[in-house]
Structure 1
Amino acid sequence: MKTLFFSAKPYDRDFFTRQNQNHNFQLEFIDEPLNHHTAVLAQGYDAVCIFVNDSADAEVLDILAQQGVKLIALRSAGYNHVDLSKAKELGIKVVRVPAYSPYSVAEHTIALILTINRKTHRAYNRVREGNFALNGLMGFDLKGKTVGLIGLGKIGIATAKILLGFGCRVLGFDVEKSEEVEKLGVEYAGLDELYAQSDIVSLHCPLTPQTYHIIHTDSIGKMKKGVMLINTSRGALVDTQAVIQALKSGQIKYLGIDVYEEEADLFFEDLSDKVIQDDVFMRLLSFNNVLITGHQAFFTEDAMLEISKVTLSNISSFIKGGELENEVH
């Protein structure tokens, strides 16, 4: 099975090459992202393996089909970057990794909350310069605070468990209710109630037409003044311009994000010697109460091992025929 990996980084090559010892597939890795310019590189390959910022829209899928590609293997849980209707029309199967490690993202969510609250990133830099003053570093106790989680899938539940351990009251919103969630002590709430009562709002839902810009001017206006907003899910859940205005007014006092709506041209690359052209992103960076990481929440050894195992297992299942357990319809 000849498979071409787009947007492949050294860690992708390492984990997938090691895991491939159990399969002996023909794997090729390139740094280039998948788009309508690079799709022709898949000529002669049976499958392509892509990541979250690759594009598999209708135009790209047409080109892939012309090259003979029959399978798109996502090394991610999200699939909003794939035109599933077009893929079905072309007879291209799409498979994903539905749950590589919810703990990796949940724990990074907590890391953002703790860091931006206790300002450990700023304290680290101060101490290295011999500055041991505490002015500007005051935080708050998490115990007793109300945290609203939008999305209670595997990641949301893992996040809730950690927050409950801190002594937080956890409110949750999801389109489906789960007995497991209620047994944990999470209180289901409507969005308006969640916004009104939460000291911290954290996003853990997929990007769909219904959740696009779920955080916008109106929803932010319903939140407590001085709220902390955390997003480790998908960048387009948040209207960035609305968030910037809320940061300026003080409605949002803390912002921690691992994803960004226009991240495709930024994240996963070393741009330290270049001038970043995204003015909105640079405006976000100018706030001292904003903490941004570059889509690294998933990035643990455990998660990478699971991603490589499941992805190659998905390819193996495709070769054998029959029903694909992790197919995206």
Structure 2
Amino acid sequence: MNSATTKIAFFSTQPYDKTFFEKYNTEFGFDLEFFETQLNLRTVNLIQNATIVCVFVNDVVNSEVIELLADRGIKIIALRCAGFNNVDLEAAKKFGIQVCRVPAYSPEAVAEHAMAMVLTLNRKIHKAYNRVREQNFALNGLLGFDLYGKTFGIIGTGNIGKAFSKIVKGFGCKILAFDIVKDPEMEADGVEFVDLQTLFKESNVISLHCPLNEHTYHIINKDSLSQMKDNVMIINTSRGALIDTADIIEALKNGKVGYLGIDVYEQEEKLFFRDLSENIIQDDAIQRLMSFPNVLVTAHQAFFTNEALTQIAEVTLGNIQELLMGKKLKNTLAQMA
């Protein structure tokens, strides 16, 4: 298939998506069409004469949507992200649609953002910034703690968890890790792989870097929270549904959780990547979370660096080209279902 005649329909796009994909598409020559709206049952009919759709984390790519995509002649679903929990891979196989992703785009970008959240929450940088702008130079209420010597628990030691571990080591911390597969390189670097119960019990800071699946859904819940140290810090830059929102709110209210940093949220598809500054937010849970002085929320920003967006565009377009050429990709997902 000639790339010049191959049309890709992009959903959930922002101005920066268009900028980076158009820039790197000069090497490929695809016909690109961008939609700001989310892909779902109501928006499939926007696709006209495309054979490929490119989707992001909050697009709905369930079996019903995939059947409609197949009816419209879609041959490839290209995720411009690492996670694929929003795609029904069995349905894609059934309808002969290939699925590819970007498994690693600057893991350092997400790892660095996770550490930025740790430091901001601990040393209250966001509060200090606002105080000084109002000419309030008092230090009361800004007390933090030394990270040196503290215990970090890392759940998920893929590319991002591994990058985060290297950053944490630089602060002189003890590192505990949990994953279904131990990483020998991390063990050689002093990381101790333990079971979840030990990690929950001994960690001062817990950072989530695991995928969302049936085993990790609500991994942070009432039971796991009860096993943690009082005043624990929890950071989530992975997927919102790793945390049971109702349970974390209760843990914040009773003081079990001393600090919470989230770049993702269970119901983020209704909120994130949009300017809602003039709207009344109907989501009571996110409003409650943002009311806590010890909670920091960013809107799925962790991936947002020049290097990451460059790699996302290059790898996504490269994946599509290789699939069109009949090549087998390690980034292909439908065969993994």
Structure 1 and Structure 2 fold alike (TM over 0.5): yes
Give the match for residue 87 of structure 1.
Answer: 92
CA RMSD of aligned residues (A): 0.6
Give the match for residue 150 of structure 1.
Answer: 155
| Segments ≥4 residues shifted beyond 6 Å | none
5+ residue gaps, structure 1: none
Checking the alignment, whether the CA contact within 8 Å between 1:101 and 1:303 is kept in structure 2 is yes
Shift of 1:293: 0.2
Shift of 1:8: 1.0
- Structure 1 distance, partners of 2:37, 2:267, is 18
- Structure 2 distance, partners of 1:43, 1:304, is 26
- Structure 2 distance, partners of 1:316, 1:260, is 33
Q: What fraction of aligned residue pairs are identical, expressed as a percent? A: 56
- Of the three residues 277, 300, 303, the one matched with 2:305 is 300
Letter in 2 for 1:163: V
After superposition, residues 264-275 of structure 1 pair within 5 angstroms as: 264-275=269-280
Letter in 1 for 2:237: T
After superposition, residues 74-223 of structure 1 pair within 5 angstroms as: 74-223=79-228
Give the match for residue 276 of structure 1.
Answer: 281
Q: Secondary structure at the match of 2:277?
A: coil
Give the match for residue 10 of structure 2.
Answer: 5
Shift of 1:323: 1.1
5+ residue gaps, structure 2: 1-5
- Does residue 1:238 correspond to 2:207, yes or no? no
- Structure 1 distance, partners of 2:172, 2:93, is 47
Q: Secondary structure at the match of 2:278?
A: coil
TM-score, normalisation: structure 1:
0.99
Checking the alignment, whether the CA contact within 8 Å between 1:42 and 1:69 is kept in structure 2 is no
Report Cα offsets for 1:284-327 as digits up to 9, x if no partner: 01100000000000000000000000000011011101312310
- Of the three residues 244, 262, 266, the one matched with 1:261 is 266
TM-score, normalisation: structure 2:
0.97
Letter in 2 for 1:228: M
Letter in 2 for 1:154: N
Letter in 1 for 2:52: A
Report Cα offsets for 1:177-225 as digits up to 9, x if no partner: 1211101111111101011100001100000101000000000000001
- Structure 2 distance, partners of 1:283, 1:36, is 31
- Does residue 1:27 correspond to 2:15, yes or no? no
Give the match for residue 3 of structure 2.
Answer: none
- Structure 2 distance, partners of 1:229, 1:65, is 41
Give the match for residue 321 of structure 2.
Answer: 316
- Structure 2 distance, partners of 1:141, 1:105, is 23
- Tell me the number of residue pairs that the alignment of Structure 1 and Structure 2 aligns: 329
Shift of 1:41: 1.3
- Does residue 1:37 correspond to 2:13, yes or no? no
